[in-house]
């Protein structure tokens, strides 16, 4: 499990992509209440900076009522 700071370091030089696949979501996208099921700030920064067309993630289990399917131009 990475810390927020470790995730920031890992993402610092990640190139732009059209499809991003990650284990956890970007922060604020399908997060759950438990800290272990919340996304990374670095992934949210990447999402807002590069706007990949698609972002596929696992690790959280949103319900039909609270699932976030799109963030800006990126489909989640």
Report domain extents, the chain.
4-64
Q: Shortest CA distance to 28 belongs to which of 42, 11, 10?
A: 42
pLDDT, tens only, 6-54: 999 999 999 999 999 999 999 999 888 888 888 999 999 999 999 999 9
Structure tokens at 7: 């995730």
Cα-based torsion angle of the residue sequence 72, 57, 65, 75 in order, rounded to the nearest 10 degrees: 30
pLDDT, tens only, 43-54: 999 999 999 999
Name the 3-class secondary structure at 38.
coil
Residue 62 confidence (pLDDT): 84
Q: Give the residue-averaged pLDDT of 59-69.
A: 85
């Amino acid at each position: 499990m990475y810390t927020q700071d470790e995730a920031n370091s890992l993402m610092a030089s990640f190139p732009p992509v059209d499809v991003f696949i990650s284990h956890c979501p970007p922060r604020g996208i399908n997060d759950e209440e438990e800290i272990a099921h919340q996304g990374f700030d670095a992934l949210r920064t990447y999402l807002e900076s590069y706007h990949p067309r698609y972002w596929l993630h696992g690790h959280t289990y949103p319900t039909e009522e609270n699932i976030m399917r799109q963030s800006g131009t990126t489909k989640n």
